[in-house]
Structure 1
């Protein structure tokens, strides 16, 4: 089978795939002229690199994205008469480690203690334990559930937000998106891992931040468009929030002069929360390839109408 492979690290992917499935004919970036790409029924790679081919009106039978987010492939005028799968099941632990890192850093006052050390000022303020910390995970899908499972042994209180209320372990409660403001007011830490859809844009605005607890931490590892930037900065400057950890922004790289750079108690982490690990991604692709050949449901298949 011919597979178009468009990845910045295509050499590593080719090495992994060729070792595991030597029957595959891999067409890599340097060879991907439009005519050759059209001859490949399966495409694997980054949405930003595959987008130009789709804009030319080309399409595969199936495209496996190496990103969890597939927003670039959903633009107006792009073809939708093909199967699209996003990367699933490979980001849960890295994302959970990210959340745990910055939640612990916040509770243990790591940054204030560093500041006090620079000032040669003794800081013996007792930190609160994670036990009993109220964590709201907004986006209780695969990644959100993995985050919750990772945090559960620390004794935190877990609630989730999903499209519709339903039981999802290990959350004590899962509410619909219409309950976001009410649940945000409950949380000591709000973690956003929602995908980018019309319904999830500009959710975190002045009204929502005004209803949150002043000691709350806001972590955005989902999509930058979910946050109204100016409203978050204002909430931090007026003391409406204790802190924010921002991994994703509306524009990346973040331009010089953006207010996030010097907003008080805001930490930028440069879209590093859960990088794609080639070995895990290759294993997911090969599993989906077998499902594709067998006519089975693909993991992470996108509903174009829903947007994820």
Structure 2
């Protein structure tokens, strides 16, 4: 089978795939896209081909987010699957890094050291920390499972209320403000859809606890940047960790660079691991050949 492979790390992908499936014919020239029924591509490299009217029978995205492929004017009459099941551990490690830094007052202690001032304030444990994961899907649930042994109190937000282990409660999106007011830390993992844009606004930040941490590792469109800045500058929010922004890379003059108690992580929260992605693709390839549903198959109407 011919597979169009377009990825910035395509040499590594090619090595992994040829080792597992020597009979695959991997093509790297976009000019050969029309002859490939299957594409394994990162979304931004697929968009120019789709705009030319080309389309595969099935496109496997190497990203969890597939927003570029949903742009106006692009075809939607093909099967699309996004990367799933491979980001839970790196996302949990990311959150754990910044949550521990916040709880242990890492930056404040560094400042104390620079000032040669002894800081012996006792930090709170993660046990009992109230964590709200907004986007209790594949990644959010894996994050919850990995953090549960630390004794964190877990609640989630999903499209609708339902039971999902290990969350104590999972509420619908309409309960976001109420649940955010409960939390010590709010982690946003929502995809970019019309229903998720500008959710984190002045009203929501005003309802959060003044000692709470806000972490956005979903999409930049979910937060009103000016409202987040106002909350931080006014002391109405203890801190924010921002992995994703509306404009990336962040321009030099953006106020986030100098905002108080805000850390930028440069869209690095959960990078795609080629080995895990190749394994997912090969599993989906077997499903595709046998006519089964694909892991991470996208509903174009829902947008994920």
The TM-score normalised by the length of structure 2 is 0.99
- Whole-angstrom distance in 1 between the partners of 2:209 and 2:24: 54
Give the superposition deviation at 1:214.
0.2
Cα deviations across residues 6-32 of structure 1 (Å, max 9, x unaligned)? Answer: 10111111111111101111001xx22
Who is 1:136 aligned against? Answer: 132
Structure 1 residue ranges without an equivalent (≥5): none
Give the superposition deviation at 1:60.
0.2
Who is 1:32 aligned against? Answer: 30
Query: SS of the counterpart of 1:60?
Result: coil
Who is 2:67 aligned against? Answer: 71
Who is 2:97 aligned against? Answer: 101
Who is 1:82 aligned against? Answer: 78
Who is 2:9 aligned against? Answer: 9
Moved over 3 A (4+): none
Cα deviations across residues 84-143 of structure 1 (Å, max 9, x unaligned)? Answer: 000000000000111111101100000100111111111111101111111000000011
Who is 1:188 aligned against? Answer: 184
- Whole-angstrom distance in 1 between the partners of 2:299 and 2:146: 28
Who is 2:193 aligned against? Answer: 197
Give the superposition deviation at 1:181.
0.3
Contact 2:30–2:49 (CA under 8 A) maintained in structure 1: no
Who is 2:157 aligned against? Answer: 161
Who is 2:20 aligned against? Answer: 20
Who is 1:53 aligned against? Answer: 49
Query: SS of the counterpart of 1:207?
Result: helix
- Whole-angstrom distance in 2 between the partners of 1:178 and 1:203: 10
Who is 2:121 aligned against? Answer: 125
RMSD across aligned positions (CA): 0.6
- Whole-angstrom distance in 2 between the partners of 1:23 and 1:32: 21
Contact 2:82–2:296 (CA under 8 A) maintained in structure 1: yes
Who is 1:225 aligned against? Answer: 221
- Whole-angstrom distance in 1 between the partners of 2:172 and 2:98: 26
Count of matched residue pairs? 304
Query: SS of the counterpart of 1:196?
Result: coil
- Whole-angstrom distance in 1 between the partners of 2:30 and 2:51: 15
Who is 2:173 aligned against? Answer: 177
The TM-score normalised by the length of structure 1 is 0.98
- Whole-angstrom distance in 1 between the partners of 2:267 and 2:144: 21
Structure 2 residue ranges without an equivalent (≥5): none
Contact 2:41–2:62 (CA under 8 A) maintained in structure 1: yes
- Whole-angstrom distance in 1 between the partners of 2:37 and 2:282: 15
Give the superposition deviation at 1:150.
1.2
117-126 or 213-222, larger mean C-alpha shift: 117-126
- Whole-angstrom distance in 2 between the partners of 1:125 and 1:32: 58
